[in-house]
Amino acid sequence: MSSLRLAVAGKGGAGKTTFSSTLARTLARRGHRVVVIDADSNPNVAVALGCDRAQAAAIPMLPTGLVSRRLDGGPSLTEPVPAVVERYGAVAPDSVAVVHMAMPAHADEGCLCSAHATVSGMLADAADLPDTVTIVDLEASPEHLSRGTTRHVDVLIMIVEPYWRSLETARRMSKLAAELPVPHVGVVGNKARSAADVEAIAGFCAGAGLVLDGQLPWSDGVLDADKAGIPLIDHDPEDPVVGAVSQLADRLLAGLQPSVATT
């Protein structure tokens, strides 16, 4: 398999981190190298992957001085991605590597332009890593799209819940994503409690011209795992959400069809 770079977006609380971490562990168990970039200024992915709290707290932020410019003007890193991951990342269960985007150290510090540029450069360089999946867990904001941070991903997945505000967030994000050279922009429904919820998500996507890549059911196991501080895939490997993520992993590895988001 060649490299695969995937970004996970959506409204706050939609389930991005649970999806990202479960997908990362699933792909790693299939023998792929997996790197997860926590691009949220309130990082939680390391713990969701299974790092203990002390290990997660000790992960340094990616230095903004790592970013440079390619000859074509695009972002790049001053060091190879594997070296950056080894130096600034941590190893989670199933050998998943996780790194953190830089975040403000002080109030009134200014914008995160250089931090976004570092993530963008890392994604650009990750294209050259064979048999490696790079997953970016995004903040609940369109800033990663408006800044073009995710312009180098192969797949953008928007996690939605079966209610209008969450779905409308995906529609708005898809309009921004359509202006970037992202080959596939899709939606994954989450927390569907009933057939009506499943239909609501499918109907909205059809009406908005959004590609629906899959749906995840509601599961009390997600809440139980979170309360216990254990990744869902460890808490209950047979949970229906784990199974649904595994099915989507099959589709990702097989290659999703290119798409263009529409209004």
- SS3 annotation, the chain: CCCEEEEEEECCCCCHHHHHHHHHHHHHHCCCEEEEEEECCCCCHHHHHCCCHHHHHCCCECCHHHEEECCCCCEEECCCHHHHHHHHCEECHHHCEEEECCCCCCCCCCCCHHHHHHHHHHHHHHHHCCCEEEEEEECCCCHHHHCCCCCCCCEEEEEECCCHHHHHHHHHHHHHHCCCCCCEEEEEEEEECCHHHHHHHHHHHHHHCCEEEEEEECCHHHHHHHHHCCCHHHHCCCCHHHHHHHHHHHHHHHCCCCCCCCC
Quick one: pLDDT at residue 263? Answer: 33
For the chain, how many residues are written?
A: 263
The Cβ of residue 128 has, within 10 Å, a number of other Cβ atoms equal to 11
Quick one: pLDDT at residue 2? Answer: 78
Taking the C-alpha atoms of residue 215 and residue 22, their distance in angstroms, rounded to an integer, is 14
Quick one: pLDDT at residue 114? Answer: 80
Residue ranges per structural domain of the chain = 4-254
CB 217 within 8 A of CB 192: yes
**CATH (one of 3.40.50.300, 3.40.50.2000, 3.50.50.60, 3.30.450.20) for 4-254:** 3.40.50.300
pLDDT along the chain (263 residues), means of 10: 90 93 97 95 90 94 84 77 96 97 67 82 92 93 79 95 94 92 95 96 96 96 95 97 96 74 36
Quick one: pLDDT at residue 259? Answer: 54
- Please report, for residues 16, 153, 207, 219, the alpha-carbon distance to residue 148 in angstroms, rounded to integers and kept in the order given: 19, 10, 26, 34
Taking the C-alpha atoms of residue 261 and residue 240, their distance in angstroms, rounded to an integer, is 29
The Cβ of residue 236 has, within 10 Å, a number of other Cβ atoms equal to 16
Q: Residue 149: left (phi > 0), alpha (psi -120 to 50), or beta?
A: alpha
